[in-house]
């Protein structure tokens, strides 16, 4: 099993290309199930989760082809992938595939909308909380689906097709908003979705569906209107840049110091996080080529943060920000409101010498003058990047184990950091 070895102490200087967003690419790939034409997606990141979803889609009959593997001058491999679901050969998504990645449960909506039936395994447990699927099932029932849950599978049918509805989510859910958007696109009549998620990844999906012939308006607000159409066509669409990767590398610069251009990054996708970083003493400017992130020799200031749905501070950057605050000059408070169990990185940061205490869903972080390298492990995807960027700022050697979590959501992290002067290498055991 691989680990990543980090030798701390080097400032980061140079260019880091920001990949396409994992959390945008996955629902866009699933949207290929809605049409028998080819959906071409540009800027698809090469990640373990993307490869796993390709296996799941292939099981349903989706053919795919990849172009753009070669490295262009100064660019990482921004891949273009063509998905064609000419025929749905199987409406069942089995446990052994779905259990490896929660987002694969989302195939339930498009399979049901296109074929009138879907049999999808309930996803397995998740390290950062229960993430119930009832929001998905209730919204599809509102569109007229009949759903039975038995033997660990959701069996959904809509023999006469789905029918538009007026539905208000009891709580905001990005995944459930994705699924309802896809299903409602092929429903009869109008669907109004209230309390919809406003995340950029939802907007990216809605824009893609519109390019395929859907009639969606209001994306990016809490009320989305969908006029159902009888069929969708193919399209060509670009995956937005990864705002979580952007924020993670920005915080790496905050921890180490230096001057890095995050090439292709769009600051409008994470304004709350960038504003928080500016309050901590970092200099961040949007340029034509991406985001310029700098930290001079001054220390970091403590900032209090509470995670919120978009446009608030993202839960997916909470662990990394906690790592940053371990080096701040003073006390900060970080409150997690989205997921339970999302403080598992606290014990690992403490192994590096961090001073963090927990009370309920709030962590109190007292900055320390020095972090010291140690053996640590990644507990989930975002925590894995936290341990690496903390290691960049620690004295000595930090070895991060269980980095398979990292490969789910960060494309060639070691390569990108090495190019900016970091001493980071992958070790195979």
Per-residue pLDDT in tens (0 to 9) along the chain, 429 residues:
899 999 999 999 999 999 999 999 999 999 999 999 999 999 999 999 999 999 999 999 999 999 865 554 444 557 999 999 999 999 999 999 998 888 899 999 999 999 999 999 998 644 434 557 899 999 999 999 999 999 989 999 999 999 999 999 999 999 999 999 999 999 999 999 999 999 999 999 999 999 999 999 999 999 999 999 999 999 999 999 999 999 999 999 999 999 999 999 999 999 999 999 999 999 999 999 999 999 977 889 999 999 999 999 999 999 999 999 999 999 999 999 988 778 999 999 999 999 999 999 999 999 999 999 999 999 888 889 999 999 999 999 999 999 988 999 999 999 999 999 999 999 987
316 annotated ligand binder: yes
Please check whether residue 169 is in contact with residue 139, taking contact to mean a CB–CB distance below 8 angstroms. yes
Statement: 3-19+241-427 belongs to CATH 2.70.98.10: no
CA distance linking residue 343 with residue 335, whole number of Å: 10
User: Exactly one of 126, 198, 208, 420 is catalytic; which is it?
Assistant: 126
Q: Using the 8-state DSSP alphabet, how is residue 299 labeled? A: P
Statement: 22-238 belongs to CATH 3.90.10.10: no
100 annotated ligand binder: no
Q: Using the 8-state DSSP alphabet, how is residue 99 labeled? A: T
CA distance linking residue 261 with residue 17, whole number of Å: 8
**Helices (H), ranges, 304-403:** 318-325, 345-351, 381-393
Contacts of 366 (CB under 8 A, 6+ apart): 330, 331, 355, 356
132 annotated ligand binder: yes
208 tagged catalytic: no
Same fold, 3-19+241-427 and 22-238: yes
CA distance linking residue 427 with residue 272, whole number of Å: 36
409 burial via Cβ count (<10 Å: 0-12, 13-18, 19+):
buried
171 annotated ligand binder: yes
266 annotated ligand binder: no
Domain ranges of the chain: 3-19+241-427, 22-238
């Amino acid at each position: 099993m691989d680990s990543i070895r980090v030798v701390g102490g080097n400032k980061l200087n140079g260019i880091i290309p920001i990949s396409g967003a994992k959390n945008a690419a996955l629902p866009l790939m699933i949207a290929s199930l809605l049409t028998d034409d080819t959906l071409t997606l540009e800027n698809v990141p090469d990640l373990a989760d993307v490869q796993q979803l390709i296996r799941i889609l292939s099981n349903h009959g989706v053919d795919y082809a990849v172009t753009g593997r070669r490295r262009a001058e100064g660019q990482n491999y921004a891949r273009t992938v063509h998905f064609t679901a000419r025929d749905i050969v199987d409406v069942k998504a089995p446990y052994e595939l779905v259990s490896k990645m929660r987002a694969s449960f989302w195939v339930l909506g498009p399979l049901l909308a296109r074929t009138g039936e879907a049999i999808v395994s309930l996803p397995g447990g998740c390290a950062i909380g229960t993430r119930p699927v009832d929001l998905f099932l209730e919204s599809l029932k509102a569109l007229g689906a009949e759903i039975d849950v038995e033997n660990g599978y959701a069996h959904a049918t809509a023999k006469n097709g789905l029918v538009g509805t007026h539905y208000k989510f009891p709580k905001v859910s990005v995944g459930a908003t994705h699924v309802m958007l896809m299903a409602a696109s092929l429903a009869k009549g109008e669907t109004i979705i209230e309390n919809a998620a406003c995340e950029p990844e939802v907007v990216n999906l809605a824009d893609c569906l519109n390019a395929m012939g859907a009639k969606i308006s209001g994306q990016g607000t809490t009320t989305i209107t969908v006029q159902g159409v009888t069929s969708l066509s193919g399209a060509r669409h670009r995956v937005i840049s990864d705002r979580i990767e952007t924020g993670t590398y920005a915080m790496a610069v905050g921890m180490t110091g230096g001057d890095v251009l995050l090439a292709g990054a769009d600051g409008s996708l994470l304004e709350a996080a960038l504003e928080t970083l500016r309050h901590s003493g970092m200099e961040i400017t949007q340029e034509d080529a991406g985001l310029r992130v700098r930290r001079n020799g001054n220390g970091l200031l403590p900032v209090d943060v509470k995670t919120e749905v978009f446009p608030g501070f993202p839960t997916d950057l909470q662990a990394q920000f906690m790592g940053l605050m371990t080096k701040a000059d003073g006390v900060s408070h970080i409150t997690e409101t989205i997921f339970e169990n999302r403080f598992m990185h606290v014990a690992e940061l403490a192994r590096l010498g961090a001073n963090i205490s927990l009370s309920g869903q709030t962590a109190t972080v007292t900055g320390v003058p020095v972090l010291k390298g140690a053996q640590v492990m990644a507990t989930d995807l975002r925590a894995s990047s936290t341990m690496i960027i903390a290691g960049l700022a620690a004295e000595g050697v930090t070895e991060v184990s269980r980095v398979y979590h990292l490969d789910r959501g960060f494309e060639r992290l070691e390569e990108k950091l090495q190019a900016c002067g970091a001493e980071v290498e992958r070790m195979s055991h």
